[in-house]
Chains A and B, each alone.
Chain A
Amino acid sequence: MSEPVRRIGGALALLAALALPLLLDDFWLQTGLFVMAAVVGAIGLTLLVGRAGQLSLGHAFFAALGAYTYAWTAGESGGRAAGLGLPPVLALVLAGLAAAVAGALFSPISGRLRGIYLGLATIGLVFLARHLMVNAETITGGFNGRAVESFAVPGFSFSNSDPDYLAVAGVELGGLHRLWYLFLAVALLAAWIATNLVRSRTGRALANVRDSEVAAAAMGINVARAKVTAFVVSSAYAGIAGALMALAYGRIAPDVFGLQLSIDFLVMIVLGGLGSIGGAAVGAVFVVSLPLVLTQYSSDLPFLAAPGSGGLDAATVSRLLYGAAIIAVLLFLRGGLAGAFDRLAFRSAAAPDPSGLPPAPAPRTGAETTPTVPSPGVPTRSKETTP
């Protein structure tokens, strides 16, 4: 895939994302909001899993922390659940910050454990989160959850009022439309920061730690600190994603932030291809919209039975498709969807190459890093294959 084609493709996708709200109905707008919230969380997780090689099943905890921090700090005091009544913009920042701090507090474990061992340890956080959410009633509203203050900047609210009527090209922009643009901006910002992080000194250090901790340490990288950094950044992303989810739902309850959410985040990045930021976004689209769309249109699909009849209902079918998709990608697609895409692009780009060199391996997560044993005297630097 040559650079101009990539650019044009990106610009077209952006235009589509900007124009879509004018065409879609409320169901699709709502689905889009959930997808974009998930994209932010998935990008954060792919930095941790794909780049630093650390597994986390605790992202539901950080998402919950972000969501409840937003709801608590932005909420009005005096309702059933307490609130600080801070400006929503500040609350959104605090949501990311609180998750980052919690991630840092977990550093004695996240800095020392590696890979799947860390994944298992983080499962504990999810159960801890549920306990806190149910019991800290004054902040969380307990088992039934609490309402979420809608987002606003001074003079403009991302809800159906203030300004009461706002229209573009004859389409009235209600709360869902306005949130769509907010979420789009946040998701693009998240992707931009992540891309830059991956290409920075820190990002290369993370990739080096993933491939060989010994080699990384020998090159002067503080391995424990690199792992903690990845975990903290990833937690902050999850916190923001949680706050966005809270805004999209309008009301949050403990059931939203179960272990299933952690697994969903993980599945998104695996389907998309570990370490790929675009892949994480594609994975999020699939994982989030599949059950929503199947349920919405279940009455139109002849092979689906009504829920509870013992046949294949929409929820069951979407779970089965979801599980089968994971297995199929892991068995047949190296590097997930992003890996397959890159291989296709590589093949078309490599075809006219007359140099006679043996084809390099297709660019995928593991391919762009330093050799495990750096040759003496030659400072090998990790290099991205895609600029």
Chain B
Amino acid sequence: MSYLLTQLANGLSYGLVLGLIAVGFVIVFTATGVLNFAHGSVLLAGAYLVAVLQPTVGFWAAAAVGIAGAALLGVLINAVLVRNLAEANPGTAAILMLGVDILLLTELTRRIGNRVIPMGAPWGADRVEFAGVSLPTSRALAALVAVVLFAALWFLFARTRTGVAMRAAAADGDTASLMGIRLSRTGAAGWALAGALAAIAGIFLASFPAPGVAPTVALSAFAAIPAWVLGGFDSVVGAIVGGLVVGVATALAVGYEAELHVLGSGFGEVVPYLVMILVLLVRPSGLFGSKEAVRV
């Protein structure tokens, strides 16, 4: 029983971190209509900054720089590239982001080389015990931080002028623009927010039990894509729920791999995608996605 609980706790924590990444996909998508394939490299860039700076300036200052750096990187990508596309449509924007991802990832991979740079977080390899469940402190902290951030996001979108402006711009850009909302600002805010969330997720993904920052960390953003898709493409709540579903399903598949041996080794890696395909078969627009209304 406690084994099951441990797996569930691990899955929930992982799922919440995936949720942070998936929410970034949603915010960028609703704010600027871009499928951000470079999200993984932005995440890696943030984590890399933290890991490189922390020996000299200390972890907390490095974390602040890393988060701000990733946010700035997002804003720059939007301002310099996305807004200057020759043909602005979601398809070309998505492919543009593939190009950006290749550039960023190649450069970061070259800088990191074969190293695995330790994150140097103050909680190190500590573990916490709770109701018979032993969990790495970083995992517990990740869950806590994610929940706090989700609450802050709710506050932002529900109670502040900026957040309401972003929602209005997402719902109907033209009308929002006529009402005096600057789409360039809501777009930049969305990219900054997504970048910052990605960097935070990156810090947790690269700390214990993971060994540190390596180029493979960027791939974790790909694991968040099923979470985003099955939650519905334009719903923040959907992204969080999707993250939890994918996280728990993955943790269970990995934890019970011996029992699931018939399905082949490494089954945990395909679980997110299987879940996504199954959900899409039943609900093509995801669990919480708004159905596309077609009027003739």
Interfacial residues, chain A to chain B (CB-CB below 8 A): 49, 53, 55, 108-109, 112-117, 119-121, 123-125, 127-128, 130-132, 134-136, 213-214, 218, 259, 263, 266-267, 270, 274, 310, 312, 316, 319-320, 322-327, 330-335
Contacts and interface: CB of A to CB of B under 8 A. Distances in A.
Contacts of A324: 99, 103
A132 to B, nearest CB: 8
B90 interface: yes
A267 B95 contact: yes
Contacts, number: 127
25 contacts: A115-B90, A117-B233, A120-B228, A124-B226, A127-B273, A128-B277, A132-B264, A134-B265, A135-B266, A213-B294, A214-B296, A267-B95, A267-B98, A270-B95, A274-B91, A310-B113, A312-B110, A320-B106, A325-B99, A326-B96, A326-B98, A327-B100, A330-B96, A333-B86, A335-B87
B92 interface: yes
B57 interface: no
B274 interface: yes
A119 B29 CA distance: 15
B35 interface: yes
Nearest to B273: A124
Given A323-B100, A323-B103, A330-B86, A109 B280 contact: yes
A326 B99 CA distance: 5
Interface in B68-92: 81, 84-87, 90-92
Chain B interface helix/strand/loop/mixed: helix
Interface string B256-296: 00000000111101100110110011001100000010101
Given A124-B226, A131-B266, 14 more contacts: A113-B280, A119-B94, A120-B35, A120-B229, A121-B276, A124-B277, A131-B264, A134-B265, A274-B91, A326-B98, A330-B95, A331-B85, A331-B96, A332-B86
Given A128-B273, A330-B92, A266 B294 contact: no
Nearest to B268: A131
Contacts of A326: 95-96, 98-99, 102
A302 B284 CA distance: 53
A320 B103 contact: yes
A214 B294 contact: yes
Interface in B238-266: 264-266
Interface of B: 35, 81, 84-87, 90-92, 94-96, 98-103, 106-107, 109-110, 113, 222, 225-226, 228-229, 233, 264-267, 269-270, 273-274, 276-277, 280-281, 284-285, 292, 294, 296
B95 A121 contact: no
A205 B233 CA distance: 28
B91 A55 contact: yes
A123 B273 contact: yes
A53 B95 CA distance: 14
A131 B100 contact: no
B100 A134 contact: no
A263 B98 contact: yes
A327 B265 contact: no
Contacts of B270: 127-128, 130-131
Contacts of A53: 91
B233 to A, nearest CB: 7
A274 B265 CA distance: 39
Nearest to A134: B266
A144 B11 CA distance: 32
Contact of B99 (A119, A127, A259, A327): A327
Given A108-B281, A116-B35, A123-B225, A320 B265 contact: no
Given A213-B294, A323-B100, A121 B277 contact: yes
A319 B269 contact: no
Nearest to B107: A320
Given A124-B226, A326-B98, A331 B110 contact: no
Contacts of B98: 263, 266-267, 326
Contacts of B94: 55, 116, 119
Contacts of A310: 110, 113
B255 to A, nearest CB: 18
A27 B277 CA distance: 41
Nearest to B275: A124
B86 A334 contact: yes
Contact of B102 (A117, A132, A322): A322
A135 B270 CA distance: 12
Contacts of A123: 222, 225-226, 273
Contacts of B285: 117
A323 B110 CA distance: 15
Nearest to A123: B225
A119 B37 CA distance: 12
Contact of B90 (A116, A125, A127): A116
Given A120-B35, A131-B267, A331 B95 contact: no
A259 to B, nearest CB: 8
Contacts of B233: 117
Contacts of B35: 116, 119-120
Contact of A218 (B226, B265, B296): B296
A128 B277 CA distance: 10
